[in-house]
Amino acid sequence: METTRLQDNETFFKMQQQNHTIILFGEVVVDEFPEKSLLGGAPFNVARHLRAFGLNPILITRTGNDKARKMLMKSMEQFHLDVRGIQSDTRYPTGRVVVQEEKQGHSFNILPNQAYDHIHAGLARLVSLSVHPELLYFGTLAQRTRPSRRALNLLTHSLAIPKILDVNLRAPWIDPHILHRSLQQADILKINDEELEVTAKLLQLRQGHNPDHAYQLMQRYPLQQLIVTCGKNGAWLLNQDGTECHADQTIQNSSIVDTVGAGDGFSAAFILGLLSKWPAPLSLARANQFATSICTIRGAIPPDLEFYLPFLKEWGVT
């Protein structure tokens, strides 16, 4: 069965003309659900989607020398992902997250001192210089320790390319100094409405509603665009010149299986639109469309590549 899927993947990827290299910096983790364990982490999820969209994502992370690494490398080989940015650590384990379902959604116990907390700066920079990327994607979680912060800082200072910050505020790993520094490094910010409220408090923005906070962030930091995802209420985008565009939710609540990975799906589709030079309103609408479709499946990643075909056809990607 595994061989059959791999052959189908070969056919799928042969149909694509791989272009546009994106570096994704940060964590790869094993999400341990009550019933099973799945590979996850926002950079990994986004990379998987981008590869299915026909782009060339380069994941820069660090794993332990353990079973989880073997699981990751097998998955990356199966889905034709470049592995040159996957560092190996003999001391620290591959990241783990214990996921529990609750009435309000999911709770995440993100374990400390994992391999992705120790990304080697020099190795990361060598990879980045060898692949000529067009875009850098990064988040906040993988910056919780000094070694990985140093690696990211080296990338942001050495790569003169657009940088997308995908905020991921998970207690207890929330640090206003990391958030402030990340915003200083970013050209585009993607954040959900709840995180925007938390960010406003952490950075001591003036009182007001989320649109007010978004405008304040645009004034305070060198952002070109700010995207706010709002769950069942869709998403909206604010440009540097003050213009806005909105996308409404496109799925009925009865169709939702879970919301894990919806934000990562949104990020991937928006990146595709950015590199494909779609108009901002179209990128926003399609990103929202893809994110809502992720809510109809279990977990963050579709079980097979057929899931992507309707989108690729509709968007004219293939």
Q: What are phi and psi of 241, to 5 degrees?
A: -80, 5
In the prediction, which pLDDT does 18 show?
67
pLDDT value of position 260: 81
What's 2-307's CATH class? alpha beta
How does pLDDT run along the chain (318 residues), one tens digit per residue? 344 454 577 778 777 766 899 999 999 999 888 888 889 999 999 999 999 999 999 999 999 999 999 999 999 999 999 999 999 999 999 999 987 777 666 677 999 999 999 999 999 999 999 999 999 999 999 999 999 999 999 999 999 999 999 999 988 999 999 999 999 999 999 999 999 999 999 999 998 888 999 999 999 999 999 999 998 899 999 999 999 999 987 666 668 888 888 999 999 999 999 999 999 999 999 999 999 999 998 888 998 899 999 999 999 986
Taking alpha carbons only, the member of 88, 77, 91, 162 closest to residue 120 is 88
HEC string for 214-276: HHHHHHHCCCCEEEEECHHHCEEEEECCCCEEEECCCCCHHHCCCCCCHHHHHHHHHHHHHHC
Amino acid present at 274: L
The angle subtended at Cα 309 by Cα 308 and Cα 311, nearest 5°, is: 70
Residue pair 115/93 in contact (Cβ under 8 Å)? The answer is yes
Q: Which residues fall within 8 angstroms of residue 171, CB to CB, at 6 or more apart?
A: none
Of the candidates 62, 28, 42, the one whose C-alpha atom is nearest the C-alpha of residue 147 is 62
Q: At what angle do helices 176-185 and 146-158 cross, to 10 degrees?
A: 10
Distance, in Å, from the CA atom of 24 to the CA atom of 21, rounded to the nearest integer, reads: 10
Residue 4 confidence (pLDDT): 44
Mean pLDDT rounded to a whole number for the chain: 92
8 A C-beta contact, residue 81 and residue 9: no
- Give the whole-angstrom CA distance, residue 276 versus residue 274: 5
Task: Name the pTM for this structure.
Answer: 0.93
pLDDT, tens digit (0-9, with 9 covering 90-100), for 101-145: 776 666 779 999 999 999 999 999 999 999 999 999 999 999 999
Q: Give the pLDDT confidence score for residue 3 in this predicted structure.
A: 43
Dist. CA 57–CA 265, nearest whole Å: 14
d(CA 19, CA 272): 11
pLDDT tens column, 33-50: 888 888 999 999 999 999
